[in-house]
Amino acid sequence: MGKFKPVLQNVKPTNKPVLGKEIKDQVNWSFSFKYFKQIDNFGLGDTDSKWFVALLERLKDLSSQKVDMLLSDYTARDAYRFHPINWNAVNIPVKRKDFNWIDYDILNNEAEYPFFQFQISTALGRVIGYFDENHEHFYILLLDHKHNMQPSKKFNYNVNDTTVLFCDYSSLLMDVDRVRGLKCPVDECKCKSEINSLPTKAGRGKFIYVNIDDEYYEELEKLTENKSLKEIIQDGILSSI
């Protein structure tokens, strides 16, 4: 499966490496969101911009550190709350097999690809992921701002509900599907109420959805050869004032 994969062992406090081999060239941390996903109990719907800033600051901090620093130094691991996921933790809401969106060979090779977590900060949750075979990237799988991966005894091992934070485009498509599914003649009051609540803005942005006939679309394509769509819309708005 590769030349080297990290395995963090349970050892007494020491500054000696806990890996079978030292990491080649003492590489710095780098991160990939290729396999990032929001799932039940790990959604970001109730986070705010300050939380995302804290996340970016932590990733920036680790990007200046050597990977071996956390894998070999007990004190550093403890400071970052860096450790493998304990799949036998009390009331843990997921199992390793639930991460079925990653490569099969990795999912079914826990010995060579253990999942780790580290803290964003004491109060702001954890980042969950794994290292690739060459230790070049840490693949982020989940962002756990509610501390749900390994529920705390301090809070009676409770798992806190979360909601998925949709991007603006996904939110718009959901609204469109929602309108398409309405049956106005059957329940007109409910239909009006649903329409008046749009856009739901599950995301955080401004979108305009316009349905135009084919002939107008062809004209639009011609116009956008020389102007951007934004410029065309702005000209249209100004000409209507």
Query: CA nearest 51: which of 121, 151, 148?
Result: 121
> 67, 28 in Cβ contact below 8 A?
yes
pLDDT tens digits for range 174-210: 556 566 555 555 455 555 565 555 555 555 444 455 6
What is the pLDDT confidence band of residue 19, given thresholds at 50, 70 and 90? Answer: very low
pTM of the model: 0.61
Express each pLDDT in 59-106 by its tens digit: 999 999 888 888 888 888 888 999 999 999 999 999 999 999 999 999
Tracing tokens 């705010």 back to the chain, one arrives at 48
Domain ranges within the chain, ordered by starting residue:
24-155, 168-240
Q: CA-CA distance, 60 to 74, in Å (whole number)?
A: 21
162, 42 contact by CB (below 8 A)? yes
CA atoms lying within 13 Å on the CB side of residue 4: 12
Say if CB 85 and CB 141 are below 8 A apart: no
